[in-house]
Structure formats: structure tokens, C-alpha cells
Amino acid sequence: MAESAQSTTGDDERIKQISPLRQALIRPELGGMVGTVAVFTFFLLFAFDSGMFNSQGVLNWSIVSAQFMIIAVGACLLMIAGEFDLSVGSMIGFAGMMIAIFSVTMSWPVWMAIIVTFVLCVSIGALNGFIVVRTGLPSFIVTLAFLFILRGFTIFLPQTIERKTIIGGIKDTAEGDWLASVFGGKIGQGFFTWLGDAGIIATFERGTREGQPVVDGIPMLIIWAIGLIIFGHVLLTKTKFGNWIFAAGGDAEAARNSGVPVNKVKILMFMFTAFCATVFATCQVMEFGSAGADRGLLKEFEAIIAVVIGGALLTGGYGSVLGAALGALIFGVVQQGLFFAGVESSLFRVFLGVILLGAVILNTYIRRIITGER
């Protein structure tokens, strides 16, 4: 069989040989990889002494990046399936507020508040998807409507019930709750204490926490981010359903002709995006101990930017979860790195814009090579 393959490939003089290096480089994540290397090189050169790369600094930008990653995974799969969700930011605010209202105002156990909120938000995601699929309207418009609807409720509900827009006191009610610790806890404390005792990472030198390591564990937020990336990547590239996601976004009509349940795929991806937004919200509420009506503002765009830096095509059918994760990493490192480097924070936007443009131009070029578009 190897022989026949050779003889037939030798037949067509028009198929150019592509060098293995070029072939290895041509992948959707290349823009994200180049961006990541560029960003780390930049900050290693200009902010190495600022504490950005000691254990505390690494934890700092890792947490910010992990936040972006959680919503980017959902946005990435949805974008590959050919749709947008602009209601992600409002969903984050809404989910956090519902957890606070259920657990603090209504005094439900926190685990129940979290589960009910997940069910509610994923149902709203399904409703988003159902409306898009049924009406054939652009998801841009439908989810823009939900951006306002959900944000409106997020402000209205706490004002009506509690006469304020921030509900606090969740930390106390969540104390010892088994499900709350899945979102707000830390793991690996023993390992970090050992690292501190062994002198590998810094320990507090005075105060009540004297002798304890400055980083006392990996927050569950980061575990969720890594878990969701692995799940999203495996789902997209290694399963039958992943093929359907590509097909649904690439050409919904052709996919339907081949028997792909396009509507089901799209609705499920809207639900997954809502799930990711709710994970983000739950982690945030457990970390801060409060829910605010302005949480998650503009997060939908940050998610979309991370996904686009990661090589996904805005019109669907093409992209990579690993790329989106790198996009989120770039986002987080730049945002925190500029702070460490002591750069005026308004320059964050300039820097981000430059990276966005650079990555997208590179990605367009790569995609043309892969797909033969002109």
C-alpha cells in the first residue's frame, strides 16, 4: 500500500512538496503561539525584576488568564459552530446575582443555590440557541437582546429585593459548603507548604501568617480553566460531535444534507457557553464573597477577542480550543504584565489592539494557505 501511495502521488506534478517545518507551522494556533512567545519575551525583558515571574506574580496573571480561558472555551466552540453569544458578560453578572439572592436573601444552602443557578443559566443559553435556530435570525441580534435583558434583571432584582446593587456575605454562608469549595477552594496546599518550607518559594516573614508560603495553593478557578480546555479540545478534535461542530459552522446546509443534526449542535453549544459563563460567575462570587450588578461587563468581547487571536474564523467552521486558550493567556499576561511593568494602564488597550491586529493578520494568512482560499 505504501508503494501504491508513492506511485500515485508521483503522478500529479501539480502537487507541490511542502516541507515538514512549514507543515508543522501551518495550524490555526500559530498566531496564538507567536503572540504568546512575543508577549512573554517582552515582559521577561522589561518586567523581569518587577515580581511578575515570582510565585505570587505567576499566580496573579495565571488567575486572570484562567478567567479569560473559561469563557473563551465556550465562545470558541460556539464560534466554530457558526454563532456568537454577546450575552456572556451579562450572563456572568446574572448568574452571580442569582447565587447571591438564592443563598443570602433566600437563605438556601449554597450548593442548592449554585445548582439552581446552573440549571437556570444553561436553560437561558438553550433559549438563546432555540430562538436563533428557529427564527434563523443572526445570533448577534438575538444575544444582543439577551445582553440587555439579563443585565436589566441583574440590576433590577437586587434593587427591588435588597435596595442595593451589591449583595455580600456569601463567604460566611458558603463556609464548609461542599459545592462552594469546588469553585472557590484551593488545592495542593500541602505541596505549597512543603515548597515554602523547602525554601523554593517565598514565605511570609512577619504578621499572622508568618512562615506560611505566599502562594498557598492553586485556586479551583485555574483547575476549571484547564479542565474546560482539555474537555473542549478533546470534544472538538477527537469526537464525532466535534466533527459536527465544524460542519455546522462551516456550512449548515451541507451538514444537514449529510445528516448532521445542526440545530441540536448549535443549541448545545449555546448551552455550553452559558455553562462556562456560570462557572466563571460562581468562581468569582466565591472568591469575592459578593455579587455585583456590574460584574462581567464587556466580558463577551474579551472572550471573542481571545478566540479570534487563537485563530478561529468569525464566520465559523474553523478554529482551535488550544488557540483560544493561548489567546486568553496573552490577554491575561498583557493586562497584568503592564501593571507589573509600571506602564500606564490605559496603554493596555493600545497593546491589546496591536496584538489583536497582528495575530488576526497572521491567522488570515495561515488560513489561506490551509484552505486554498484566495
Partner 1 sequence: MTEDSKFHHGDADQKEPIIRMVNIEKHFGSVIALAGVSFDLRPGECHCLLGDNGAGKSTFIKTMSGVHKPTAGEIFFENRPMHFEDPRDAISAGIATVHQHLAMIPLMSVSRNFFMGNEPTRKVAGINFFDKKQADEITMEEMRKMGINLRGPDQAVGTLSGGERQTVAIARAVHFGAKILILDEPTSALGVRQTSNVLATIDKVRSQGVGVVFISHNVRHALAVGDRFTVLNRGKTLGTAKRGEITPEELQDLMAGGQEMAQLEGSLGGTV
Give residues in contact with partner 1 (CB under 8 A): 4-5, 8-9, 11-12, 15, 18, 238-240, 242-244, 246-247, 250-251, 253-255, 257-260, 313, 317-318, 370-373
Could you tell me the smallest distance in angstroms from the CB atom of residue 372 to partner 1? Answer: 3
269, 81 contact by CB (below 8 A): yes
If the CB atoms of residues 28 and 219 are measured against partner 1, the closer one turns out to be: 28
Cell triple for 57:
506574580
Q: Which of 64, 220, 99, 91 is nearest to 171 (CA)?
A: 99
CA dihedral 339, 345, 348, 349 (to 10 degrees): 160
286, 52 contact by CB (below 8 A): no
Half-sphere exposure of 90 (CA within 13 A, CB side): 18
276, 73 contact by CB (below 8 A): yes
CA separation (Å) from 199 to 53, 55, 194, 213?
16, 12, 8, 9
If the CB atoms of residues 27 and 171 are measured against partner 1, the closer one turns out to be: 27
Could you tell me the smallest distance in angstroms from the CB atom of residue 358 to partner 1? Answer: 22
Q: Which of 53, 48, 56 is nearest to 204 (CA)?
A: 56
Q: Which of 85, 80, 90 is nearest to 142 (CA)?
A: 85
Could you tell me the smallest distance in angstroms from the CB atom of residue 25 to partner 1? Answer: 14
Could you tell me the smallest distance in angstroms from the CB atom of residue 260 to partner 1? Answer: 5
User: 277 — alpha (psi -120 to 50), left (phi > 0) or beta?
Assistant: alpha
If the CB atoms of residues 26 and 166 are measured against partner 1, the closer one turns out to be: 26
Could you tell me the smallest distance in angstroms from the CB atom of residue 10 to partner 1? Answer: 9
If the CB atoms of residues 209 and 238 are measured against partner 1, the closer one turns out to be: 238
Could you tell me the smallest distance in angstroms from the CB atom of residue 80 to partner 1? Answer: 10
If the CB atoms of residues 23 and 159 are measured against partner 1, the closer one turns out to be: 23
Could you tell me the smallest distance in angstroms from the CB atom of residue 133 to partner 1? Answer: 18
Alpha-carbon distance 29 to 26, whole Å? 8
If the CB atoms of residues 221 and 247 are measured against partner 1, the closer one turns out to be: 247
126 phi, psi to nearest 5 deg = -60, -40
285, 117 contact by CB (below 8 A): no
If the CB atoms of residues 23 and 123 are measured against partner 1, the closer one turns out to be: 23
187 phi, psi to nearest 5 deg = -125, 160
If the CB atoms of residues 5 and 45 are measured against partner 1, the closer one turns out to be: 5
CB atoms within 10 A of CB 80: 28
Cell triple for 14:
501539480
Could you tell me the smallest distance in angstroms from the CB atom of residue 254 to partner 1? Answer: 5
Q: Exposed (0-12), middle (13-18) or buried (19+): which is 371, by Cβ within 10 Å?
A: exposed
If the CB atoms of residues 3 and 172 are measured against partner 1, the closer one turns out to be: 3
Cell triple for 50:
518587577
If the CB atoms of residues 15 and 198 are measured against partner 1, the closer one turns out to be: 15
297, 150 contact by CB (below 8 A): no
Could you tell me the smallest distance in angstroms from the CB atom of residue 1 to partner 1? Answer: 8
Could you tell me the smallest distance in angstroms from the CB atom of residue 251 to partner 1? Answer: 5
